[in-house]
Amino acid sequence: MKSFIEVKNDSDFPLQNLPYGIFAKDENEIPHAGTAIGDYIFDLTAAEKKGLINSEDTAGKKVFTNGTLNEFMSCSKEVHREFRKIITSLLDENNPKLRDNKELRSECLIKMENVKMQMPVQIGDYTDFYSSKQHATNVGIMFRGKENALMPNWLHIPVAYHGRASSVVISGTDIVRPKGQTKAEDAEMPSFGPSRLLDFELETGFFIGKGNKLGDPISIENASDHIFGMVLVNDWSARDIQKWEYVPLGPFLGKNFATSISPWIVTMEALEPFRIRGEKQEPEPLPYLKSSGNNSFNIKLDVYIKPKDSDKEELISESNFKNLYWDIYQQLAHHTVNGCNMKTGDLLASGTISGPDKYSYGSLLELTWRGSEPIKLSSGDELKFLRDGDELIIKGYCQGDCYRIGFGEVRGKILPAK
């Protein structure tokens, strides 16, 4: 497939991708829905108004006029597939409908550099999983020793905690260094102040499309019908605050101050060619969690640091989505097995994704082994944890034959505590 719009081979957004997002040309404009194609955005709100996309026929209602994607996401998978076919056809190099109509092109095709991306979804709830075996093992070794690295339940259930949806922010949002209580090993009493061990977490997340009723679990066989698409996630973590507070109920102030996501939601249809088999699970999960077939994806994930007063982005970690032990279908099935109701726009994140070797670890906690093995930067500086002025960037993509399905990036700059 090829579009009449020029798309470079290393672009994240070829015709095979068509991710969904929300953008605004200026701050006084009502945000529009769009899909990315090369360096352009195809304005779906404008296309709907112009009749290029006849959503009245496919969904029974206009779905791109509300400034979020929730209305569209709540539609069935059949509707999503129909829209994908329509948009693909309109952007195809052999279709003259948009290609040869200069007026329509000027109204519906906008350069990315001329817009500001917005939060694509009104997020109702946010859950963060803990699904990378390597990450859980690393953290367990640090805090409990090799003999007790994994807790007894970890190989039987996808462990998770409920995060804070209100502090989920779009890529490019600055992150203010959080304050809280911490306690030094040799101190009798805790102290209060800015976090000194501020960290990133390399994650992905998926959005719920169609929800379920309270009391009606989503089976693992039907889980794919409820997943709309995926984004990159950085679940920022204040390790010193988290260490002091997490017993007995888990993360709180050390995690709820900010979670950053990438602006483009890559659909599961676009990711379909990159399915692979996930990690072997031993012991075998209970029947409601048995996942068969290729239920993971080959998504390359890279982490960069842009130090304060530097224009250079330095690669510090290379991981892959396939390093998750629990897959997204197991996560959703477990989340709802007790009858929990999911709603359109709910965000479920993977937890830190760490690979088998040090260079593939998904956090500074692991990369520097609690600060004992600093990362040496090209400037000669040593990085243990994030400093004020540092900018952290996560990028991700699936590599195809002369094309890639990319997620764009999620970035955030650390500001001093207030």
Please write the tens of the pLDDT for every residue from 289-339.
999 899 999 999 999 999 998 999 999 999 999 999 999 999 999 999 999
Q: Is the pLDDT of residue 29 over 90?
A: no
- What's the whole-number average pLDDT of the chain? 96
Report the run of H or E that residue 48 belongs to, with start and end. helix 44-49
Long-range contacts, stretch 366-374, CB < 8 angstroms, 24+ apart: 366/135, 366/138, 366/139, 367/316, 367/317, 369/142, 370/142, 371/197
Longest dimension (CA), the chain: 74
Amino acid 111: pLDDT: 97
Q: Is the pLDDT of residue 357 over 90?
A: yes
Confidence of residue 240 (pLDDT cuts 50, 70, 90): very high
Confidence of residue 378 (pLDDT cuts 50, 70, 90): very high
Confidence of residue 26 (pLDDT cuts 50, 70, 90): confident
Amino acid 292: pLDDT: 86
Q: Is the pLDDT of residue 230 over 70?
A: yes
Confidence of residue 28 (pLDDT cuts 50, 70, 90): confident
**What mean pLDDT comes out for the span 266-280?**
97
Amino acid 58: pLDDT: 60
Confidence of residue 371 (pLDDT cuts 50, 70, 90): very high
The answer to whether residues 138 and 354 touch, using CB atoms and an 8 Å cutoff, is yes
E-strand spans in 131-248? 160-162, 168-170, 175-176, 179-182, 191-194, 198-199, 202-208, 227-234, 237-238
The strand pair at 404-415 and 175-176 is best described as parallel
End-to-end CA distance of the chain: 51
**What mean pLDDT comes out for the span 327-356?**
98
Amino acid 143: pLDDT: 87
Which fold, 20-118?
SH3 type barrels. (2.30.30)
Confidence of residue 57 (pLDDT cuts 50, 70, 90): low
The answer to whether residues 10 and 17 touch, using CB atoms and an 8 Å cutoff, is no
Q: Is the pLDDT of residue 61 over 80?
A: no
pLDDT tens, residue by residue, 109-161: 999 999 999 999 999 999 999 999 999 999 999 988 999 899 999 999 999 99
What three-state secondary structure class fits 111? strand
Residues carrying CATH 2.30.30.230, the chain: 20-118
Report the run of H or E that residue 348 belongs to, with start and end. strand 347-349
Which fold, 126-415?
Fumarylacetoacetate hydrolase; domain 2 (3.90.850)
Residues carrying CATH 3.90.850.10, the chain: 126-415
- Catalytic residue positions, numbered: 135
